Structures are given as structure tokens and as C-alpha cells.
Amino acid sequence: MQIRPLTWSVWGNPFSSPPAPRAPRRDRILDEQHPKPKACPRGAQRAVTAFQLFDLYDFFQAFIKGRNMYYLDPNLVRPLTKKHRLSFAERVGPSQVDFFISHWWGTPFMNFCESVKRHAIHMCHSEDESDWKKIAYWICTFSNNQYRVQELGGHSHEESSFYLALHSPKCKGTAMIMDEEASLLKRSWCLFELLQTVRRPMFQNAPGFVLADGPAVGRRLASKSLFWMGIEMCCS
């Protein structure tokens, strides 16, 4: 799900730059931890744990800074998975999904990680890292094979990796990570994810919305017709 804005700087694509200097070192660590990563079916089996998410962020934090998924994909995810041509989840060791994350790539990764942390702590009722970091999330950037994006959709929407993950019996709910503009509701894939979420009865009692910047964002979202229009579209 790569919807890149059509803006360019004098250096070319503003989201692309040489791989972070620590990427080769991280690749060697992954070789030691998972010397023979294997492919697994698209969908629910390709989740990453909160531990794996924060392990990546902590290792590259000095380079990621305020950047988002548009930076992570070409500069970290692809270099770390290039050798095996697998998804990041398969590269680091995939897990069965606990929760599906709906988001747009423009959210700063630091805010994204903080939102995941808050959601994980809430869902496991514990601030102990040994508890909340076990929760596994399906995140398109890491769960999809970015070298085989043509396979993501399948022959119908019901064969897409997004649908397979969302409709897995193992998936307990959806976390939507928003900014104050509800930017993800301007994207067709995110509306598709919202639609699939509200169509699953078992999700109705699962807390699903994560606000990237806390209560202030919630108050601003409440005043935006786009947010409520997105809900109405998917519930009608």
C-alpha cells in the first residue's frame, strides 16, 4: 500500500535517501538470529510483535527521527529484506496476528510506535514490557512483501492480504492510528479496512481506535465531518 505524494525536491524523491548507516550491521544481527528465514502465507501469519517493532525503532531511532513509513520502506525495510526477498515479518520471525493496524504512511514513526505501545498496554492491562511487547500486530509495511506488491490484492478483495488478516479467527480487533486530520480516512484501502472491521460482529466489543496524539486529537476529530462520514459510509 504505497500511495506516494507527487512532490519532489532538488535531491529527487524527498522520502528516499541512502540506506541508514546502521542497516548493514542490523542485517548481520538478523542473520545471526534468523539465518534461514522462510516465507509463510500472506495474511494473519505475518504479524510482528510489539517487541520486534520497538527493536527496529530503538536500533534506528537516531536516523528515523521524525520520519514516517515513506522513509522506512525504501531505507530500512527493503534493505533489510532484499537478500531474501521476504516481508519484514518473515525476515525477523513472523507471528500469528492479535490485532490489525489501519494507518497511513505519513504518520511519524515515533508517534506510530507510541500509539502501538498505548494500545498494547491497554489490551493486556499491564505496563510490564514482558507482557505488552508479546502482542502481535499486522502492519502492512512489515507484513506485506514489498518486493512482491503485485500479489497483495489477489484475484479479488477477499484474497487480499489485508482481508485475510482482518478476517482471521485469530484477529481480535483493529487499531486505527489517526492524526488530527483523520488522514487515513481519505485513503481507499483504509476505508476498506474500516468496512471489514465494522462487518465483523466479534470486533464490536474490542476497543479499536488509537489516537496518535492523545485527547486533543480526539476533540478535533469530533468536529470533522470527514471522520463521521467515513463511519457512516462503512456502516450503511
More confident residue, 151 or 87: 87
For residue 191, count other CB atoms closer than 10 A to its CB.
16
**Pairing mode of beta strands 136-138, 48-49:** antiparallel
More confident residue, 4 or 234: 234
Contact 27, 80 (CB under 8 A): yes
Mean pLDDT rounded to a whole number for the chain: 81
Contact 181, 223 (CB under 8 A): no
pLDDT at 33: 93
Could you report the per-residue pLDDT of 35-91, keeping only the tens digit for each? 999 999 999 999 999 999 999 999 999 999 999 999 999 999 999 999 999 999 999
List the domain boundaries for the chain: 38-235
How far apart (Å, rounded) are the C-alpha atoms in residues 234 and 236?
6
Pull the grid cell for residue 88: 519484514
In this structure, what DSSP letter does residue 84 have? Answer: T
pLDDT at 209: 52
pLDDT at 22: 85
Q: How confident is the model at residue 114 (pLDDT cuts 50, 70, 90)?
A: very high
Residue-wise over 67-96: b if at least 16 C-beta within 10 A, else e?
Answer: bbbbbbbbbbbbbbbeebebbbbbbbebbe
Closest CA to 56 of 69, 44, 46: 69
How far apart (Å, rounded) are the C-alpha atoms in residues 90 and 40?
7
pLDDT at 214 over 90: no
Contact 137, 100 (CB under 8 A): yes
Q: How confident is the model at residue 150 (pLDDT cuts 50, 70, 90)?
A: confident
More confident residue, 231 or 58: 58
pLDDT at 6 over 90: no
For residue 18, count other CB atoms closer than 10 A to its CB.
9
pLDDT at 179 over 50: yes
Q: How confident is the model at residue 217 (pLDDT cuts 50, 70, 90)?
A: low
Amino acid at 205: N
pTM score, whole prediction: 0.82
Report the pLDDT averaged over residues 22-42: 93
pLDDT at 178 over 60: yes
Q: E strands of the chain, at which residues?
A: 48-49, 99-102, 136-138, 174-178, 209-211
